[in-house]
Structure 1
Amino acid sequence: MRYLPLTETDRTAILDAIGASSVDALFTDVPSDLYLNGPIEGLPLHATEMAVEKHMRKLSKQNLAAADAAFFLGAGAYKHHVPATVDHLIQRGEFLTAYTPYQPEIAQGTLQMLFEFQTQVAKLYGCEIANASLYDGSTACWEAVAMAARVTRKKRHVLSGALHPHYAEVVRTMAKFTEDEIAGANVKLTARPDDDGLIARIDENTASVVVQYPDILGRIPDLQKIADAAHAVGAKLIVVNTEPVALGALEAPGNLGADIVVGEGQALGVGLQFGGPYLGLFAISDPKMVRQMPGRLCGETVDADGKRGFVLTLSTREQHIRREKATSNICTNSGLCALAFSIHMTLLGDKGLKGLAAENHRLACIAADRLAKVPGVTVLNDHFFNEFTLIFDADARQLVRDLAEQNILAGVSLGRLFPNDDCNGLIVAVTETTTVEDIETLASALEEKLS
């Protein structure tokens, strides 16, 4: 590809066309104190390759790896065992080096993999159609909100207070550019979700209702009840799931009235990976909405000889022929992560996923029962899957830092997720990788710190 530098005349023409006074005007949303106005303090201007390698190795030793700690972090990213087979297969050259099928019918292997992936996601979510994945769970959530606005021709969206705050923030950020109204709420630290409070905020102008399942505190909302209230005013129910393993134990959202189901696929096949790349899942219950779906859709067909084949049935991305008429400007479907997800799902199968879910729940119950015996600790939830919330009076953020020094990653503090709310406590996640010894280690540490 040739490098075509812009001239000053080109830059001026572009700025005039978009109505910006300067290049700096494009960054007005970035706080001024975050601008880099000179060299980074303490960073040398140059160094030898060997010196840089030595320095980076030294820095890496400051990390506390998930495998080296009693690990209870969750809140949207989960530590599960990923079979070695997953990494072995995604390292194959035909998968690892493939990008995106711009001449799709030539890439039959890639299309077949995505077709199988779509089938798995649709079945997992209890929906009719799933797309060929999106960037991550939070952007998939926004895409669902935008899609609901197109379908209903309304602009008001009611967000549950127990929606992951990072997902809610992505929705609010994107809505600034579409003039959608985002009706949020504060999270309530109650044993069960405030379903009635959410329903009370739904009105005739509502395009969508967004609820997490299980929610950010690990509670399980009554989706059917919320769906009935949303449908009564012509709104779409969007269900967000950040822990796909939970759907091995819970009823699929599509079977409970969800119109659009989105989520994060990281928990299956992908691993933690310092926060990314992750994998956005997206599915719909009504096939009539398919042309409003973001991203791409792979389909099955037969060729001239009657042999089974795969095609790119729908591609609403702006990169393709839809251009400015595209339903989304999403530019990646995290294809390699989708493959990893699909391989892990295939290895598990229906029976394996249910067994994995049962083991997660069993260990979480053991952990909740043990931690509830710690003086000063209250388990908020009266029902949960593999994640629950502890409430106590101490500064949870400081407690998390202190326990990390003891190789215990105790959970995600409520103060980190909800910095503007006066609440102390931890969101604790337990998976099949957690041992009874890990649980006792956390409980003993909390007893010592909170005494």
Structure 2
Amino acid sequence: MRYLPLTDTDRTAMLATIGAASIDDLFADVPEAARLDGPIHGLPNHASELSVERHMAALARQNTVAGDVPFFLGCGAYRHHVPASVDHLIQRGEYLTAYTPYQPEIAQGTLQMLFEFQSQVARLLGTDVANASMYDGSTACWEAIGMARRITRRSKAILSSGLHPHYVSVANTMAKYTGDTLETSLPTLAADTDIDALIAAIDDDTSCVVVQYPDILGRIADLTPLADVCHAKKALLIAVVTEPVALGAITSPGEMDADIVVGEGQSIGVGLQFGGPYVGLFGCKEKYVRQMPGRLCGETVDADGKRGFVLTLSTREQHIRREKATSNICTNSGLCALAFSIHMTLLGEAGLRGLAELNHAGASAAADRLAQVPGVELVTPVFFNEFTLKLPREARPIVRELADRGILAGVSLGRLYPGEDALENGLVVAVTETTTAEDLETLATALQEVLA
């Protein structure tokens, strides 16, 4: 809750200073139709702090809590166990900031953490360099498309049908103002990815190809042939990773010669949090580093020869001339990046690989069990911790009925692609180390009852 300490006299003086007659004058640019003409209906004009806390707590109790019910949701946001030590350490004074440190002489702890974060992300994604994070995976994806335009001086991007539709939506919104042409299509409920179609679509006007790995249906493809054709046509390959835990088990996109690798880091160290804040990952080949948006922390020595850390590159309009900036939204999510880095440090390479093995083993068992339910077909035979099922009828009402039974069964493709009849029977199921055998059996039994 906000605490507003200003008196009427304070507000009047502030308005007079800026030359406004009333607070309403500050909203003159907002269309009148979008403004409230009075109090919000049904809400009291004021209430005590205690009564507001009680009311909000009562509303919160209506939520379905992930840890209290079987949970199989994924599609870009994943429920993993976050050690209690992560929350403890991010609150230490030498680290605690939600944003970027501007004074290196008093922010060495945060800067060193960001330097370590960059090292971890670069190794995870298989890239030469990584920046100090971005807002989230979807905006990082768009920034990569813009970066490809600057490098290739072309403006046609080919987006895989397996790219998350929310990422596609963000890219389409931004492209309205940049002149980029985005080509994409819808996925099909089939085991094969669209790699061959992407290869066939690349021409001399293509700036980049954007492919998700694993894709929205959980499918995993070898990106090497796609990278080879992209480079033959002088286009860039951009890989999007929404589940970084997968890179503990499968080859990283950088190792398959992707030029830019972006992703969402939420599943390592950052809870679901009702959709945010999250943390965007961004890495690329070293030769493109000066076109990379965001900030880059570097290691140096001070006047006494002692090791120190600084912001090396800040290619943002806040720091340099607007026309030279790579982006004006390329901040970094400092607190979430810190949580990511702490969790990665606690895991280490062996721990991450072990976590990935747990996820894959659990998902494999779940796929086998759910495919035994009459009428259910497994669409994706090769996957990491997320796979797609084809149900005998529309998945969306089935998901709703299972939710009413206290089971969060997955994400229906009808929700992601409304109005697309060919996809409405698809159900994307995610399994992590937090999923128990009892959870799986509960889902399988309930699904069979609902479909009967």
The verdict on a shared fold, with TM-score over 0.5 as the criterion, is yes
Summarize deviations over 1:393-447 as a string: whole Å, max 9, x none.
3232221121112221100110111113112121100001111111111000100
Rounded to whole Å, the distance in 1 between the matches of 2:63 and 2:78 is 18
Residue 296 (structure 1) aligns with: 295
Residue type matched to 2:216 in 1? I
Offset at residue 100 of structure 1 (A): 2.3
Residue 238 (structure 2) aligns with: 238
Rounded to whole Å, the distance in 1 between the matches of 2:358 and 2:14 is 54
Offset at residue 329 of structure 1 (A): 0.7
Verify the 8 A CA contact 1:239 1:253 in the aligned structure 2.
yes
Cα–Cα, structure 1 residues 187 and 57, in superposed 2: closer, same or farther, change >3 Å? same
Cα–Cα, structure 1 residues 148 and 105, in superposed 2: closer, same or farther, change >3 Å? farther
Cα–Cα, structure 1 residues 175 and 111, in superposed 2: closer, same or farther, change >3 Å? same
Offset at residue 331 of structure 1 (A): 5.3
Verify the 8 A CA contact 2:387 2:429 in the aligned structure 1.
yes
Cα–Cα, structure 1 residues 144 and 62, in superposed 2: closer, same or farther, change >3 Å? same
Cα–Cα, structure 1 residues 162 and 331, in superposed 2: closer, same or farther, change >3 Å? closer
Matches within 5 A, 1:12-411: 23-24=29-30, 39-97=39-97, 99-285=99-285, 287-330=286-329, 332-411=331-410
Residue type matched to 2:309 in 1? F
Offset at residue 366 of structure 1 (A): 0.2
Verify the 8 A CA contact 1:294 1:328 in the aligned structure 2.
yes
Verify the 8 A CA contact 1:295 1:316 in the aligned structure 2.
yes
Summarize deviations over 1:255-296 as a string: whole Å, max 9, x none.
1010000000000001111110000000002x1211111110
Residue type matched to 2:408 in 1? L
Residue 18 (structure 1) aligns with: none
- Find the residue that maps to 2:380 and give its secondary structure: coil
Verify the 8 A CA contact 1:269 1:344 in the aligned structure 2.
yes
Rounded to whole Å, the distance in 1 between the matches of 2:127 and 2:275 is 28
Identity across aligned pairs (percent)?
67
- Find the residue that maps to 2:74 and give its secondary structure: coil
Residue 19 (structure 1) aligns with: none
Rounded to whole Å, the distance in 2 between the matches of 1:46 and 1:98 is 31
Offset at residue 188 of structure 1 (A): 1.5
Verify the 8 A CA contact 1:319 1:331 in the aligned structure 2.
no
Offset at residue 221 of structure 1 (A): 2.0
Residue type matched to 2:178 in 1? T
Residue 426 (structure 2) aligns with: 425
Please state if 1:442 is matched with 2:448: no
Rounded to whole Å, the distance in 1 between the matches of 2:36 and 2:175 is 28
Number of positions where the alignment pairs a residue of Structure 1 with one of Structure 2 = 434
Offset at residue 313 of structure 1 (A): 0.7
Residue type matched to 1:223 in 2? L
TM-score between the two structures when normalised by the length of structure 2: 0.91
- Find the residue that maps to 2:207 and give its secondary structure: strand
Residue type matched to 1:428 in 2? V
Rounded to whole Å, the distance in 1 between the matches of 2:41 and 2:192 is 48
Residue 412 (structure 2) aligns with: 413
Rounded to whole Å, the distance in 2 between the matches of 1:49 and 1:350 is 47
Summarize deviations over 1:355-402 as a string: whole Å, max 9, x none.
110110000000000000001111100100000001113232221121
Verify the 8 A CA contact 1:207 1:236 in the aligned structure 2.
yes
Rounded to whole Å, the distance in 2 between the matches of 1:132 and 1:97 is 14
163-172 or 193-202: which moved more?
193-202
Residue type matched to 2:215 in 1? D
Verify the 8 A CA contact 1:159 1:209 in the aligned structure 2.
yes
Verify the 8 A CA contact 2:144 2:260 in the aligned structure 1.
yes
Cα–Cα, structure 1 residues 220 and 99, in superposed 2: closer, same or farther, change >3 Å? closer
Verify the 8 A CA contact 1:192 1:220 in the aligned structure 2.
no
Verify the 8 A CA contact 1:192 1:382 in the aligned structure 2.
no
- Find the residue that maps to 2:177 and give its secondary structure: coil
Cα–Cα, structure 1 residues 37 and 313, in superposed 2: closer, same or farther, change >3 Å? same
TM-score between the two structures when normalised by the length of structure 1: 0.92
Residue type matched to 1:23 in 2? D
Rounded to whole Å, the distance in 2 between the matches of 1:145 and 1:247 is 22
81-90 or 318-327: which moved more?
318-327
Residue type matched to 1:371 in 2? L
Rounded to whole Å, the distance in 2 between the matches of 1:256 and 1:97 is 35
Residue type matched to 1:441 in 2? T
Rounded to whole Å, the distance in 1 between the matches of 2:14 and 2:97 is 24
Rounded to whole Å, the distance in 1 between the matches of 2:276 and 2:97 is 19
Summarize deviations over 1:85-135 as a string: whole Å, max 9, x none.
111100112222474222234421111100000000000011100000000
Rounded to whole Å, the distance in 1 between the matches of 2:40 and 2:227 is 51
353-362 or 312-321: which moved more?
312-321
- Find the residue that maps to 1:85 and give its secondary structure: helix
Rounded to whole Å, the distance in 2 between the matches of 1:292 and 1:313 is 14
- Find the residue that maps to 1:51 and give its secondary structure: helix
- Find the residue that maps to 2:217 and give its secondary structure: coil
319-328 or 297-306: which moved more?
319-328
- Find the residue that maps to 2:94 and give its secondary structure: helix
Cα–Cα, structure 1 residues 331 and 210, in superposed 2: closer, same or farther, change >3 Å? closer
Verify the 8 A CA contact 1:105 1:312 in the aligned structure 2.
no
Cα–Cα, structure 1 residues 331 and 442, in superposed 2: closer, same or farther, change >3 Å? same
- Find the residue that maps to 1:23 and give its secondary structure: coil
42-51 or 137-146: which moved more?
42-51
Rounded to whole Å, the distance in 1 between the matches of 2:53 and 2:117 is 39
Summarize deviations over 1:123-174 as a string: whole Å, max 9, x none.
0011100000000000000000000000000000000011000001000100
313-322 or 113-122: which moved more?
313-322
Rounded to whole Å, the distance in 1 between the matches of 2:249 and 2:372 is 27
Which runs of no fewer than 5 residues in structure 2 stay unpaired?
Answer: 1-12
Rounded to whole Å, the distance in 2 between the matches of 1:223 and 1:420 is 31
